[in-house]
Structure 1
Amino acid sequence: MSRTFSDSLQEVLAGRALETDRARRALGFVIDGGATAAQAGAFVAGLALRGVTCDEIVGFAQAVRERSLKAKPSRAPLLETCGTGSAVAFNISTTVAFIAAGAGVAVAKQVSRAVLGRCGSADVLDALGVRVDLPPESAARCVDEAGIGFFLSSRFHPALQSVASLRQDLGARTFFDLVEPLANPAGARLQLLGVYSTALVPVLARALKALGSDSAVVVSSRDGLDEFSLAAPSVVARLRGERIEEYEVDAAALGLLRRQATETAGGDAAANAKILLAILKGERSAAFEVALLNAAAALIVAGKAADFKEGLAMATESVDSCRALGALEGVKKASLA
């Protein structure tokens, strides 16, 4: 074992934080297979118990980015809507990606298989007939041709496969859930990022700033949803250039009905595909409203909308004009070509 990693592991186990470069090198050692299973497990578990710092998240994201496959769409700027994943709601961020694309935003979204929940973003796309296991050039072509493309995490981050079984065995959230969304293979610099804890909202906003994002919204709702919620206020950190602003958004204040979390619950891939299609076809429901709310935030991030009122109107138009549904059909065709 590397002396450098051994020192870093001892620091983590002692509850002390790592500086950015030290975190980068430590995770690089782990995902390159340099650590034993016991050492990797101790490193991940120690960080889970103590909680990760902004500097550590930045360093870990750098390590993952350095080892990722890269895709190079010609379209720019690119929006990423990948979040930390919900075990409760339907695939909101994937639905948002189609609505944003229908509104003219170029979307490059990372997707993954379900780990903690019943249906990951890749699973629902499979059910919709979209091929996601594409090589870099094909995924980039989808973005260029359809205005939206998907990047399967396991394909574009092969180094993380060395810790896949560890993450599964732990059966709990780890810093990897925070880091993967920060390593977009197409280099997206616009991001709507949902996280599972309100305490992490400002931390992730600072991490995105340090990693070079131009515009971002980080959100976590007080009901535990890692998206904007209709059931409770949402805690937000808005990154614009060098500035980060923190505030809360209450859907009711925007004219949306207060809903129960059960009204936006998801199921397996087939059930979630049905919900997503119904939204893109304009069927009004709680799921439709929560998708519009989150899409409005995505359009703010992309500079298409000045505020939520305008964003909601643009998101509604994207759906009602069938352009959001057209984005789905377009990427399905491009992915199978």
Structure 2
Amino acid sequence: MSAVSKRSALSPRQLTRSDERLSFIYLERCTIHRDANAITAQDAQGTTHIPSATIGTLLLGPGTRVTHQAMSVLGETGAAVCWVGEHGVRYYASGRALSRSSALMEAQARLWSSPRSRLAVARKMYQLRFPDEDPAGLTRHELLGREGRRVKDCYRAEAARTGVPWRGRRYIPGDFTSGDAINQAVTAAAQCMYGIAHAVVTSLGCSPALGFIHSGHELSFVLDVADLYKTDIGIPLAFDVAAQDEEDVGPRTRRALRDRINETSLLNGCVDDIKRLLLPGATGSSESRGDRDVVTLQSDHDHQVASGVNHDGPEHYGDELW
């Protein structure tokens, strides 16, 4: 095997496109190293080789140790890296975003910066959650009122379905055990969903802070995205867990949500929903979805021109790459 320092970095054209990669790989309790342009995961059962260019996002769970050279090859091949809790349930930190394009970030900032388009995205989010309602023409106050009513209806319906007594949402920040079993389950599910949404948002290169419903917090957009799945996944699962047993409801909720995420391919669905919200006309290949590795220069009237050339005068006088 040649020395790592003698290997040249891969060019963007040599890398696997994002839509051809594995959406994520989760590793835990192992040592991650580099072998040529692959990473290796070594544990008590042996060593597994994983081509780094086929990884969308690498989720590092408890007990993982990763070498500098492994992180280097992951960076060269454009893989995102997130440090997470057991089986990807909680999100702690991340490396670079998976996407080399700023298209999603720019679209998010553009939509967020206009009150009209910001409200339009909020309405789309409401319709994603409750497709049987038409939010067109609703004000923000009306959206919040309808959302609150639908969530209350969801709590009552799940209580009736499972037989779990529901006396209202009770949660004191920082004091998880202050609520009853069902409130603890709802809190655990919500916290896990925030971690999952945070991992997806950062992997796509979006800003966690620029929310369309929530505002004023560093995770506003994360809270927006997590709430998309509150009434379909989070609340029903919390009631299912609380109905089984009131002991250790927090850990059991996290494990049950982990399994539900795998069953429903939630990570893939979350990526698609974010792209539909921010780039509604983007369909088909990765290039049309804003995954291109292209650098342009901003000119007048929102016109983009090629980078790497001298734009002084009517003609370009050769390349000016550094």
**TM-score in terms of structure 1 length:** 0.29
Which one has a larger percent helix, Structure 1 or Structure 2? 1
Radius of gyration: which is bigger?
2
**RCO higher in structure (CA 8 A, sep ≥6):** 1
**TM-score in terms of structure 2 length:** 0.30
